[in-house]
Amino acid sequence: LLSPGTARADDTPSSWRITRYDASAVFAQDGTAEVTLDFDFFFGSDEGHGPFITLPERQRVTGNPDVWRMIDVTIGEVSSGTGAATDTLVSHSDGNLVVRVGHEHMTWTGSQNYRITYKIRGLVDPDNRESGLDEVNWQAIGPGWQVPIDHAKVTIEGPGTPERVACWWGSSNENPCQAVQDGKKAVFEAGNLRPGR
């Protein structure tokens, strides 16, 4: 998996965590994906303004370290099922798109829901050098988040039926995670993800 994001927060009290992290991407024939990121951020009793996600805008091409694939991201709707502030500030930093959600004069406790949609192009590696297949390489959570994630689920749906599915987690992608194919969909799940892993 490779590039949607990294749910994080401005400060990281030990009580903060993401209890549910669901990311889904629906791919069109041209390789563009419509992504929905829906997650529950638990602030506990330690107030927080809101999370931010980091979306890579480039990635190295497998087997060719001198070539980078550019990733184009367009942020869509940002909402909250629990009524948390969803003011959105988008910036660029070190080859990443940073999306901050929340209001500087409002804080929240307990569990707050956030839903972010965006369109992304550049996740498909056509005719991959090693496999010879068109591959979707998506780091759906990323190594930069600063709070634990209790359960993560990623769903990918394409215009065709995938030939193979695989998933790993960890700082070096050393741990396999559950991967299930269901028709044109592939579902990946992992739990107890520690910060930065």
Q: Which residues pair with 2 in a beta bridge?
A: none
Count of CB atoms situated within 10 Å of the CB of 136 = 20
Question: What gap in Å lies between CA 196 and CA 66, rounded to an integer?
Answer: 26
Question: What gap in Å lies between CA 178 and CA 153, rounded to an integer?
Answer: 9
- Give me the pLDDT at residue 3, please: 31
Q: Report the percentage of the chain scoring pLDDT > 70.
A: 90
- Considering 6-15, 91-100, 115-124, the range whose residues carry the highest mean pLDDT is 115-124
- Give me the pLDDT at residue 137, please: 81
Contact between residue 50 and residue 101 where contact means Cβ atoms under 8 Å apart: yes
Q: What is the DSSP string of 129-145?
A: TTTSS-EE---SS-S--
- Give me the pLDDT at residue 156, please: 95
Question: What gap in Å lies between CA 155 and CA 32, rounded to an integer?
Answer: 15
- At residue 70 the predicted structure's pLDDT band, cuts being 50, 70 and 90, is confident
| DSSP letter (8 states) at residue 168 | E
Question: What gap in Å lies between CA 191 and CA 66, rounded to an integer?
Answer: 34
Average pLDDT, the chain: 86
Say how many Å lie between the first and final Cα of the chain, rounded. Answer: 14
The two beta strands, 88-93 and 72-79, are unpaired
pTM of the model: 0.87
Question: What gap in Å lies between CA 193 and CA 166, rounded to an integer?
Answer: 18
Query: Is residue 8 over pLDDT 60?
Result: no
- At residue 144 the predicted structure's pLDDT band, cuts being 50, 70 and 90, is low
Torsions phi, psi for 189 (to 5 deg): -140, 145
Contact between residue 43 and residue 15 where contact means Cβ atoms under 8 Å apart: yes
Report CA-CA distances (Å) from 82 to 9, 17, 113, 150. 17, 16, 6, 19
- Give me the pLDDT at residue 13, please: 86
Query: Is residue 111 over pLDDT 80?
Result: yes
Can you give the C-alpha Rg of the chain in angstroms? Answer: 16
Query: Is residue 150 over pLDDT 80?
Result: yes
- Give me the pLDDT at residue 11, please: 54
